[in-house]
Structure 1
């Protein structure tokens, strides 16, 4: 290992590419707050007698921070999220925390890959939650591009396995259009609307299929199933809960299936998931879109990947 040198490169991009990216952001109704930059981590052998090309490290096992100092002209309240540009001419959310230091504002972007990044202002108001308890979380996640179809968002409807996978993958900043992934499921088409997210979620072991080789994308999810998936997502963010006795607050915890008990305890301990009230966890009930969104935000906040 003493012969391996790791270089971190943050470089400005060609003006034509920057202009193209800024136009893309504008076309999507958002505003670019930081000129796009390229981030790359590479390793090379420093031994004189060894001739080896530099190798790019494109995927990390932990989130790697990129801290961007925001221009003085930027209103800190308008910093929505960092984005990563995809090879297909699109962009996706990456978890971003905004903070102030010595009178300056910064955006801390957390990502598991190399790529090209920027920061945007993208306020979204979801009409269906105007008078709903989930309003703040839903509007936040929609603005961060996690909720992919905010106009059709139905807060109290039971979420499907496919949409759940999409929310999780987008929230964690794993979604990359144009990326290739193995399809292990007999009922998932190559070009389906949720196929990419499902395959990425499966690759990171957040969601799994059934013994018959199916994924069942349209099936609804029980709350205990969801908590199991959130616990797997906690492994990606390296989140460990400290409130280990919290599960005892729920008088129906005994209804949790044996296979899910440890996962439910861990998710509750991390305050990622809440009960339907202060004493009921409702493990067998279906998870709603609003509940899924709130838990996704809790996961990011508790993992210190975004602001509260």
Structure 2
């Protein structure tokens, strides 16, 4: 059989395409076979990176596109243009004069859904500041959806006053417009990702997508990149690409750095996608990577270690080894936690707040970011002691601080006192008791095989991987 743009990979007996059909098998009844198709990779002229093509779905007959307000058709001016790259750009401008009465009658939780037709390459939604304020007052959310990606943001995360202030002192709210956009990433980002894939030995499962929020007033414009809480966006896995290959979503920084973003798999109407949560806008993609460590075979933490490794959160020590039972340094654990949360690097914050964190050290950026987001604290003498082994209670303190960002705080603050049930509870430091209770209440932290908590014991690399994986799972991020 043939299929344009795809390579035939044989016949399989299961829909997951894991059991090849053996043609010498004696057939005694009807047999259903499934063809395996693999999207042929596209190579750009200047390199050997691989990016899978994204097929264009066909919209259902009579399917409405545009604006929905709480599931009802809204009023919007929808225009389609072609940009300088030949891309179809769909812009949806919401008519506040017609929809303000609709919003006035809505209760809390208003949802604006903006959807592009299947042929659109770029989708942009434009909202007036008046409309945005009305959404904020109602705890509203804005959702954009294209054939290849989606973006959902709480209106409250768009700080009106701060955005206007950045535009300039003479800009009035009524003159400003918020533009939210989903678009394929530019050629430079595609090239950088391909180059990193070659070096990092990972596959690009879905090509990169740029998510952006702009505030504009006349010729003035600024991009809102940072948010006070996680914002979710999805990228669809192209047809013909085995979804099991996806290990995580990544963000591609302007300098070409590729880093993990908390990602979970979801399916909607038979279309699989990676749902990524992060605190910034940027360029995102889905990748596939399979970590392998020779010393993890049969180890109790093997599943967590391989999962965290495949998500680019943890690394080995070289020679395909992980050293699971070795202790872990405070700097190493802080760096793992920063990567797990999808955060970048802030070297200046590290060297500026701890006397023993120096510029040029591999951990300076991670420690700076951990400090910036309130994940870590130092000692009374102004040091961080990056090369000291981290204890179980110190690690749990950092994770408890991370819960504020992942949304686990409410669940952890249930008021229970599981710590008191351990025979060595008195050994816990007073400053760590609240964090230990949070860890035990959420299942992130558990006792030792001897039934003890061992709060002052050195944390192992395997335990670190398990605790971080539990944090992400309990938070619903993976």
Superposition TM-score, scaled by structure 1 size? 0.90
Contact 1:123–1:143 under 8 Å retained in 2: yes
Query: Residue 136 of structure 1: which of 303, 312, 324 is its match?
Result: 303
Measure the CA separation in 1 of the matches of 2:469 and 2:329: 18
State the partner residue of 1:228. Answer: 397
Q: Counterparts of 1:63 and 1:199 in 2: how far apart (Å)?
A: 20
Considering Cα pairs closer than 8 Å and 6+ residues apart, tell me whether 1 or 2 has the greater RCO.
1
Bigger Rg, structure 1 or 2: 2
Query: Is the aligned partner of 1:258 residue 2:425?
Result: no
Which deviates more, 182-191 or 138-147?
182-191
The within-5 A match list for 1:6-155 is 6-15=178-187, 17-44=189-216, 53-149=220-316, 151=318, 152-155=321-324
The superposition leaves residues 41-72 of structure 1 with CA deviations (integer Å, 9 ceiling, x where unpaired) of: 22346xxxxx5722211111111111111111
Query: Take 2:207 and 2:182, find their aligned partners in 1: how far apart are those partners?
Result: 12
Asked whether the 8 Å contact 1:250–1:278 carries over to 2, the reply is no
Find the aligned partners of 2:386 and 2:297 in 1 and give their Cα distance.
29
List runs of 5+ in structure 1 lacking aligned partners: 46-50
In the other structure, the counterpart of 1:271 is 443
Residue deviations 1:158-210 (CA, integer Å, cap 9, x gap): 1111101110000100034xx55322122111011111111111111111112
* 1:196 has 2:350 as partner: no
Q: SS where residue 291 of structure 1 aligns?
A: helix
CA contact (8 A) 1:40 1:115 kept: yes
The verdict on how the C-alpha distance between 1:53 and 1:297 changes in structure 2, with shifts beyond 3 A counting, is same
1: CA distance between counterparts of 2:329 and 2:474?
24
Does the C-alpha gap of structure 1 residues 14 and 227 become closer, same or farther in structure 2, counting only changes over 3 Å?
Answer: closer
1:16 and 1:286 map into 2 onto residues whose CA distance is 44
Change in Cα spacing, 1:161 to 1:57, as seen in structure 2 (3 Å) is: same
Q: TM-score w.r.t. structure 2 length?
A: 0.59
Q: Distance in 2 between matches of 1:267 and 1:7?
A: 40
In structure 2, the residue matched to 1:286 is: 458
Displacement of 1:252: 2.4
RMSD over aligned CA atoms reads: 2.0
The answer to whether the 8 A contact 2:193-2:258 is kept is no
**Which 5+ residue runs of structure 2 have no aligned equivalent?**
1-128, 131-172
Query: How many residues are aligned here?
Result: 299
CA contact (8 A) 2:376 2:398 kept: yes
Q: What is the DSSP-based 3-state SS (H/G/I as helix, E as strand, rest coil) of the residue aligned with 1:154?
A: coil
State the match for 2:165 in structure 1: none
